């Protein structure tokens, strides 16, 4: 059975303007690979309702799971929750379960549970909450879309809440071999290897170090014995250079 598929939607002007370097994509990619879920596509869009709605609908139709990051805080530009309700034709308002979590949290810390903070309890009717042990304000799952915060520590905590609830596939295993030859010398044998091992993903990442050319060859697949076999075959092609 093929692995489940996923896509990610990163929401935020700060990524597209170059102010912030996104960290969540790389983190999620690694977690999904370990869980046997194939990440097929990532999109980054700005804090713009039509862009968010269009993107989440398109991604939701194409894969088993969509993960979003960003835009669920208390400020005026945090519009992700409302966009999700719009995308899936759901009603949205401050929801009692989320308001209770947040109200208790602010009461305990002596801070005002004001109108801005109540925005963080706006959850679509049909959604289920995602636990946020870091800063309480929950994420949520609507249809096959898991809506999470953009702050990296909170994003990570929410991924840890969601991922164990999803059926994974065979984790992607990988091995690498460094070949001390220019990528153009490696490319021919690598194409032959790819033809012999069509079930594996074989990538080549060239480098130049102190004027010498080389390439790191990464071989990935769900079957460890096949990955071992391909690495062995490759090392026999370049006995002097690996």
Binding site for its own copies (CB under 8 A): 13-22, 25-26, 29-33, 39-47, 51, 55, 73-77, 106, 111-112, 114-117, 119-120, 135, 151, 172, 174, 182-188, 190-191, 194, 201-206, 208, 218, 220
Question: How many Cβ atoms are within 10 Å of 162's Cβ, its own excluded?
Answer: 17
Query: Closer CB to its own copies, residue 74 or residue 90?
Result: 74
CB of residue 207 vs its own copies: minimum separation in angstroms?
A: 8
Question: How far is residue 163's CA from residue 127's CA, in Å, rounded to a whole number?
Answer: 17
Tell me how far, at minimum, the Cβ of 35 lies from its own copies, in Å.
11
With respect to its own copies, which residue has the nearer C-beta, 29 or 129?
A: 29
Nearest residue (CB) to its own copies, 126 versus 206? 206
Q: Alpha-carbon distance 132 to 90, whole Å? A: 23
Residue 65 and residue 141 in contact, taking contact as beta carbons nearer than 8 Å: no
Q: How far is the CB of 79 from its own copies (least distance, A)?
A: 12
Contact 9, 67 (CB under 8 A): yes
Residues in the chain, how many? 242
Of 107 and 125, nearer to its own copies (C-beta) is 107
User: Using CA atoms, how far apart are residues 102 and 111, in angstroms rounded to an integer?
Assistant: 11
**In angstroms, rounded to a whole number, what is the distance separating the alpha carbons of residues 15 and 30?**
20
The residue assigned the tokens 């026999």 is 236
CB of 126 to its own copies, least distance (A): 26
Cβ atoms within 10 Å, residue 166: 17
What is the smallest separation between the CB atom of 104 and its own copies, expressed in angstroms? Answer: 15
Q: How many CA atoms lie within 13 A of 159 on its CB side?
A: 23
At 58, is the secondary structure helix, strand, or coil? Answer: helix
Closer Cβ to its own copies, 14 or 241, answer by number: 14
- For the bound state, the minimum distance from the C-beta of residue 137 to its own copies, rounded and expressed in Å, comes to 9
Largest CA distance in the chain: 69
β-strand partners of 93 = 123
Pick 92 or 200: Cβ nearer its own copies: 200
């Amino acid at each position: 059975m093929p692995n489940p598929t996923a896509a990610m939607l990163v929401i935020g002007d700060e990524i597209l303007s170059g102010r912030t370097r996104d960290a969540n994509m790389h983190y999620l990619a690694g977690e999904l690979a370990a869980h046997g879920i194939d990440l097929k596509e990532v999109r980054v869009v700005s804090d713009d309702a039509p862009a968010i709605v269009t993107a989440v609908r398109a991604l939701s139709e194409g894969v088993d799971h969509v993960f979003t990051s960003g835009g669920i805080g208390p400020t005026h530009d945090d519009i992700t929750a409302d966009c999700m309700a719009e995308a899936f034709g759901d009603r949205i308002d401050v929801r009692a379960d989320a308001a209770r979590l947040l109200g208790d949290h602010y009461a305990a810390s002596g801070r005002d549970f004001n109108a801005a903070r109540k925005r963080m309890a706006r959850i679509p009717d049909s959604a289920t909450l995602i636990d946020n042990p870091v800063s309480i304000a929950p994420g949520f799952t609507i249809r096959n879309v898991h809506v999470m915060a953009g702050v990296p520590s909170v994003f990570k905590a929410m991924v840890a809440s969601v991922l164990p609830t999803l059926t994974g596939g065979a984790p992607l295993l990988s091995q690498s071999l460094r070949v001390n030859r220019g990528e153009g010398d490696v490319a021919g044998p690598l194409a032959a290897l790819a033809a012999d091992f069509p079930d594996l993903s074989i990538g080549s990442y060239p480098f130049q170090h102190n004027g010498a050319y080389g390439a790191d060859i990464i071989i990935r697949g769900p079957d460890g014995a096949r990955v071992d076999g391909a690495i062995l075959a490759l090392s026999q092609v370049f006995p002097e250079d690996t």
